[in-house]
Amino acid sequence: MIIKRFYNERIESLCTRLLYFMNTIDSYCIVAGVLSFLAMSWINGKEINFPFFIALSIAIYLCFKISDFYPAYLFFTPLFLFFFYKLPTFNILLTLNLLGINIMAFVIIQTLFMGIPDAIIARDSTIPIRKIYNSFFTIAPTTVSFLMSVYFSSLISFTLYYNPNPFIDPWQLGLWMSLLGAAFITRMLRPKNFISLDSRPSITKSQVNRVILLNIDGCRLDRFQEAKLPFLSSLEKESSYFPRGLQTVYRALTNPAFASILTGTIPQVHGILDNNLGGYIKVEAIPDLVETILYGSMHVKHFSKTHWKTKIVSLPTHSIYRTDDIVFDMLKKDLLNSNGTRLFIADLSEVDFLGHAYGSESYQYLQALQRTDTRIADFFSWIETHGLLKDAVVIICSDHGIIRIDHSYLLFKAEKFVPCIVVGKGIKKDNTLVFEASIMDIAPTISYLLGIRYPDHCRGHVLLEVLDENESNVNSSPHCREGLSITNG
């Protein structure tokens, strides 16, 4: 009731932005680190030299940005501690106190900006405690990871409190050199994006009138297969599918990965590097080229360009358990009424959300997969009743996987590989595809199917292997799979 009374889409959009500002490590660590430093200075009556404090904040933050907050940075900790120990201002008790304040900041911020909102959306008051517990075992560049959040914010607090001046003595210079050197080494150790070799035939005609993309958000391939979902398993006989999955992109978060699905290129090119404020798609994407409607929770609005047609379902108003049903209802209505629209993209949220709330190893995540399977089964029986599959292709995929309660660094297979099933007019049935492919191959494949041009920065490979050669006049000869390469993204 209270939610409905005060709700409007602008407020939800703002709140979601704020949530992700406090969730993303790039912004979280500076807020928590500076606040912890100010709290400690206030407790101890320490005077703050503001110009120097600002210069130090910028310098340490630059080091972290260079490292991209990648966990390899943590391996250099003994070196940093050695140099901190050599500073004349260093004090072990103070260090432990600063660490304690940073842990408190973590618990408060995580509970306020993640635990409580998630409890409201899932209507389950145990979620804040579950999240705190699971955050000890989660490694991600977000406030869902205890280790990463407390590490980077504490390092900021230490630097600000002990204010090492590199111009005073070699130990202080040594600290800065190690912080910076470690950052550059860490940057080189980041995961490389897998990009399929360019293979995009010239497009002369459309293969189908419509494409429907169903994205099961946060669906890890291994759990998807273990679940033995009744409908989606049975759909394999009717479809072309990837038992080894598609690979997602780094950082494997919804907004960057979805933007890669729509543009066919890596985050460094399309411009959305995380879920935070400030990232927007800078290059051409499929919805720029063909009339498209995108459905889902507020995320969808945040990665979409402002002129795209989006239909958003409010998570707090409807709860996570109703959201995907509403998405399907809207989608069905538009499939019957929006004649000019040729691409429909639905982001299904329940699997991802329950993964973040309970863990992707949990029974709840498995149940969300089961319910999503049932929803897709109902949707397929509906489109078949209405004869809509006669001139359409449905792609069922995911943007990224998940491990424990988060995802991003691609440290584990569970984050990296996602399912992909293609079914519909002209698609080869019972067709197992085992070559390496990427979520970036989806954009050129949609272009090819709809007979529109490829987005201007699109890379990768049209998945011609899904096409039934008897039904289409495309030459999908095996040679187009040659030379797949792993390219540095």
Nearer to Zn ion, 40 or 397 (CB): 397
Smallest gap from Cβ 407 to Zn ion, in A, equals: 8
Which residues touch 63 (CB under 8 Å, ≥6 apart)?
179, 180, 182, 183
Nearer to Zn ion, 270 or 481 (CB): 270
Identify the CA nearest to 23 among candidates 11, 32, 35. Answer: 32
Q: Which region among 148-156, 161-169, 214-222, 452-460 touches Zn ion (by CB under 5 A)?
A: 214-222
Smallest gap from Cβ 239 to Zn ion, in A, equals: 23
Nearer to Zn ion, 415 or 465 (CB): 415
Q: Does 406 interact with Zn ion (rule: CB under 5 A)?
A: no
Smallest gap from Cβ 254 to Zn ion, in A, equals: 3
Nearer to Zn ion, 109 or 300 (CB): 300
Indicate the residue whose CB is closest to Zn ion. 254
Which parts of 344-373 interact with Zn ion (CB under 5 A)? 352
Smallest gap from Cβ 395 to Zn ion, in A, equals: 16
**Euclidean distance between CA atoms 32 and 101, whole angstroms:** 9
The DSSP code for 467 is B
**Number of chain positions touching Zn ion (CB under 5 A):** 5
Residue in the block written with tokens 């404090």: 53
Smallest gap from Cβ 66 to Zn ion, in A, equals: 26
Which parts of 83-102 interact with Zn ion (CB under 5 A)? none
Nearer to Zn ion, 12 or 347 (CB): 347
Q: Which region among 38-46, 216-224, 237-245, 321-329 touches Zn ion (by CB under 5 A)?
A: 216-224
CB hemisphere CA count around 426 (13 angstroms): 22
**Euclidean distance between CA atoms 141 and 152, whole angstroms:** 10
Identify the CA nearest to 257 among candidates 433, 407, 435. Answer: 407
Smallest gap from Cβ 252 to Zn ion, in A, equals: 8
Which residues touch 44 (CB under 8 Å, ≥6 apart)?
94
**Euclidean distance between CA atoms 263 and 441, whole angstroms:** 9
Smallest gap from Cβ 398 to Zn ion, in A, equals: 8
Q: Among 373, 399, 406, 441, which residue interacts with Zn ion (rule: CB under 5 A)? A: 399
Which residues touch 78 (CB under 8 Å, ≥6 apart)?
none
Residue 172-211 contact track with Zn ion, rule CB under 5 A, x = bound: ----------------------------------------
Nearer to Zn ion, 313 or 427 (CB): 313
Task: Please list, residue by residue across 448-470, b when 16 or more beta carbons sit within 10 angstroms of its beta carbon and e when fewer do.
Answer: bbbebebbebbbbbbbbbbbeee
Nearer to Zn ion, 218 or 460 (CB): 218
Nearer to Zn ion, 324 or 399 (CB): 399
The residues pairing with 431 across neighbouring beta strands, listed in sequence order, are 240
Q: Are strands 420-424 and 392-397 parallel, antiparallel or unpaired?
A: antiparallel
Residue 246: its H or E element: strand 246-247
The residues pairing with 171 across neighbouring beta strands, listed in sequence order, are none
The DSSP code for 345 is E
Smallest gap from Cβ 222 to Zn ion, in A, equals: 17
Smallest gap from Cβ 262 to Zn ion, in A, equals: 13
Q: Is 438 helix (H, G, I), strand (E, B) or coil?
A: strand
Q: Which region among 194-202, 230-238, 253-261, 370-378 touches Zn ion (by CB under 5 A)?
A: 253-261
Query: Both tokens of residue 177?
Result: 């050199």
Identify the CA nearest to 461 among candidates 262, 196, 201, 124. Answer: 196
For residue 174, the tally of other CB atoms under 10 A from its CB is: 16
Nearer to Zn ion, 257 or 446 (CB): 257
Chain-centroid distance, C-alpha 484:
25
Identify the CA nearest to 466 among candidates 399, 394, 398. Answer: 394
Smallest gap from Cβ 220 to Zn ion, in A, equals: 11
Nearer to Zn ion, 217 or 274 (CB): 217
Q: Does 254 interact with Zn ion (rule: CB under 5 A)?
A: yes
Nearer to Zn ion, 284 or 352 (CB): 352
Q: Which region among 2-10, 320-328, 394-402, 415-423 touches Zn ion (by CB under 5 A)?
A: 394-402
Smallest gap from Cβ 248 to Zn ion, in A, equals: 9
Nearer to Zn ion, 299 or 342 (CB): 299
Q: Among 12, 68, 217, 415, which residue interacts with Zn ion (rule: CB under 5 A)? A: 217
Which residues touch 387 (CB under 8 Å, ≥6 apart)?
none
Identify the CA nearest to 105 among candidates 63, 140, 156. Answer: 156
Q: Does 274 interact with Zn ion (rule: CB under 5 A)?
A: no
| Dihedral sign from CA coordinates of 156, 157, 162, 163 | positive
Q: Which region among 75-83, 195-203, 248-256, 290-298 touches Zn ion (by CB under 5 A)?
A: 248-256
Residues lying near Zn ion in the complex (CB under 5 A): 217-218, 254, 352, 399
